[in-house]
Chain A
Amino acid sequence: MPQPPTDSAARTAARVLGHPAVTHLAQQDRPAGGAAIDQVVIASGAGAVLAAVLLLLGWGHRSGRLTWLTRAAALAERGAGRGLPGWAALPSSVALVSLLTALLGMYWDISLHISHGRDVGPLANIAHYPILFGLFGIFTAGVIAVVLPLPGERPGAAAVRITRTWYAPTGGVLLAGAGFYALLGFPLDDVWHRVFGQDVTLWGPTHLMLIGGAGLSLVAMMILEREGRRAHAASGGGSGSRPPGWAQWIRRGMTAGGLLVGLSVFQAEYDFGVPQFRLVHQPLLIAVAAGCALVSARLWVGRGGALFAVAFYMLVRGGVSLAVAGIIGELWAAVPLYFAEALCVEVAALVLARRPLALGVVSGLLIGTAGFAAEFAWTHLAYRLPWTGDIVVEGMAMAVVGGVAGGVCGAMLAEGLEGRLPGRGHGVVSNRGSRNVARALFAASLAAFAAALVNCQIFTVPRGETATLILTAVHGAGEDRTADVRVELSPRGGLDGPSWVDITAWQGEGLHVDRLVREAPGVYRTSVPAPIGGQWKTLVRVHDGRELAGVPVYLPRDKAINAPEMPAQPHVTRAVTGERHILQRELKTGLPPWLWAACSAVVLACTLTLLIALGWGVARIARVLPEPARPASTPEKVGT
C-alpha cells in the first residue's frame, strides 16, 4: 500500500481548526518570549479548583456525606467489572477512558509537531489538552482507588496502610504514582527545553516520562485487578457464586492489550516515518513490547490471551490512527502487526504453559526470528520507511535479545500477579531464594535490554562526503514550490544496500517522505516532486549500517533562532553531515556535555524509581497473596 508522500489534508485541517498561530504567522515571525504572568495566574487558579474538587470528593466520600463515588463504584461492578469490588472496578474504568484520551492526544500531538514544527506559544497546541486530561485521569483513577475503601474496610490483604482505619490497595497507590510521574514530565519538559532548546523529537528524556508513565500504569492496573479479584473471592462474592469466567478473560485481555499499546508507543517516530535514530531500534522495541505484553497476556489471561490482546491493541491503535488521520485530518501513523508474535507465544504455550520462564525465553526466540520476519514483510505493506536487507542480521539479533528480555519480564509479571514466585520446582525452596531469583532475572533483563539499546544508539557520520543536488525541474512558486531532485553522492560507491535513502520534508503543514530511486551507484532521484518553499524543511537522508547522515536541500529563514534561509539552488554541492542539527534546528549548540548527562540522570532516577516501585508492587502481591495450594492433578487453570 503506497503512502502518499505529501499530506496536504493537514493544511486544510489547520485552517478549519482555526489555529491563528499556524495560519497567519509565518514561522520566521513566531514569537520567542515566555509565558505572561496573567496566563500563569489563570492556570494556577484552574489548578486550585481541580485540587479542591479532588479533595472534596475524597473527604466527602470518606465522611459519608457524598454517595456519588459509592454509586459510581456500584455501576462499575457490572459488565466487565463483574467479580471485582468497586475500589478496583471504578478506577479501572476511569483509567481506561483516560488512557485512550491520552493516547489520542499523544498521536495527535506528534503528528502536529511533525507537520507544523515547534509550538508557537503556551496555549497554541490543542492536542496537549487530551494528553493532560488523560494523564490527570490516570492519577485520579489511582486516587479514587485509594479513597474508595471505607473507614475500617481493608481492600485486600496486600493493602497499604494510610491510617489505622484507612487502607488503600497497592495497585491504586501505584496507579496514582504512575500518573504523578507522567504529569511530572510536563514541567520537567519545560525546564529541558529552556536548557537545551525546543527540540522536536519523541525521545527527549522528559517526553519518555510522559509516555512511560502512561504505559507503565497498565502494570499498576494489573496489580489492582489481582487485588480486587482476591478480595472479592475471599469475601465470598456478592451472591456467593463465582462470577462468569468470560468477564475476567475479557477484562484481563483488555488490560494486557493495553500493556501492549503502552509499550508500543515508544516507536511512534518510526510509525510516522520520521525516525531520528537508527532503523535497528524498531525491531528491538517491537520485540520487547511483544515479549513482555504477549507472554504476560498468555499466562495471565489464559488460552488465546495473547491473540485477544493483539486484537484489542489493533482496535485501539488502529482507531487512534484513523481518528488522527481521518477525522482530525493530520498524519497517518502505521502500527506494527504483532499478530505473528502472538501466534508464536500461543504455539509455544501449547507445550510450555506450565513453565513460564521457559515460555518467556522460547517465545522471545520465536518473536526475534519468526516475528521479526513477519514484521519485516508488514513494513513493506504499511510503513513509509520499510525494513531493508541492511538490517536483517543486526535487526534479528536485537529482536532476539529484546524478545527474550521482554519475555522473561512478562513471565515474571504474570507469575507474580498469580502469587507464584520464580524458581519453584527448580530447586529453589525458600521465599527469599525466589525473590532473589526474581530480582536477578529482572536486573539481567533490564541490563540486556540496555546493552541492546546502547548498540542501536551508536551511529557514525561519514567524513568528507559530499552530495551534489541538481533540481532537474521546478514547479509552482512561493510557498508551493516543488522540485524534482537528482542527488549525486561523492564518493559514488559509498552505499551498500542502505536502510534508507530518501528526501524527507516536514513542518511545512504536512509530511513528505519519498524514498529515492537509484539510477546508478551513488546517483538517486526523487519519484515525486519535493517541496522547496514555504515553511518546509527539506533534506536528503542517508542511513547505511551505522551511518546516519543528511544533506539539507531547503531550509526556511527562522528569526527566532537566528537561522538564515538555505535556498534550494539549481546545482549545488553540500557536505554530508549529521542530521540532528538539520532535523532539530532549534537545538542549542555549545552546551557542556556534563549538563546533558546531569539532566538525563534526573530523568533516569525518576524512571528507575517508578520501575522499582512497580517491581515492588508485583513482588508484594506475590508474597502476600500467594497462590492457594492445589492438588497435583488439577488441569492448568487460569488463576483467580
Chain B
Amino acid sequence: MTTLPSAAAEPLAAHSAVTAIPFFIPTFVVVSVIAVIIWRDRRTLDDAPATPDEDHSGEGGDRGPHTPSVG
C-alpha cells in the first residue's frame, strides 16, 4: 500500500459543489417555478373546468406585439 491509514482525513477539496452552486441553483429554481405553474394549472382545471378564458399563470396577460415565430 502506498498510503498510511488516516483516521479522520478531511475532504481534500470541495471544488465541485462551490463552483457549481451558481449554476445548479438556477436549474432547481427554474424547474420548481415551472412545476408550480403546472400544478396550479392542473388544480384550476379541477376546480373550475367551465371557464375557458382564465389564465392563472400570469404570462398570458397584457401582451405586446405578437410576432409569429414560424417562418
Residues of A within 8 A of B (CB): 30, 32-35, 39-40, 43-44, 46-51, 54-55, 58-59, 62-65, 67, 70, 73-74, 77, 85-87, 118-125, 128-129, 132-133, 135-136, 139, 143, 146, 148-153, 162-166, 176, 179-180, 183-184, 186-187, 189-190, 193-194, 197-198, 231-232, 235, 237-239, 552, 555, 560-564, 566, 581-582, 585-586, 588-590
Contact = CB atoms under 8 A, between A and B. Distances in A.
Given A162-B37, A232-B70, A35 B14 contact: yes
A302 B59 CA distance: 41
Given A40-B21, A132-B19, A64 B13 contact: no
Contacts of A132: 19-20, 22-23
A340 B36 CA distance: 51
A67 B65 contact: yes
A124 B14 CA distance: 11
B23 A162 contact: no
Contacts of B13: 118-122, 124, 193, 198
B55 A163 contact: yes
B23 A180 contact: no
B3 A589 contact: yes
A6 B32 CA distance: 49
A589 B23 CA distance: 32
Interface of B: 1-6, 9-27, 29-31, 33-34, 37-38, 41, 45, 55-67, 69-71
B26 A198 contact: no
9 interchain residue pairs of minimum CB distance: A238-B71, A47-B25, A64-B63, A186-B20, A62-B59, A64-B64, A46-B22, A51-B26, A163-B41
Contact of A163 (B23, B29, B57, B71): B57
A148 B29 contact: no
Contact of A40 (B9, B18, B37, B59): B18
Contacts of B64: 63-65, 67
B25 to A, nearest CB: 3
A45 to B, nearest CB: 8
Contacts of A589: 1, 3, 5
A508 to B, nearest CB: 16
A77 B15 CA distance: 39
A535 B34 CA distance: 49
Contacts of A187: 16-17, 20, 24
Contact of A151 (B4, B5, B60, B65): B60
Contact of B23 (A63, A135, A194): A135
Contacts of A566: 2
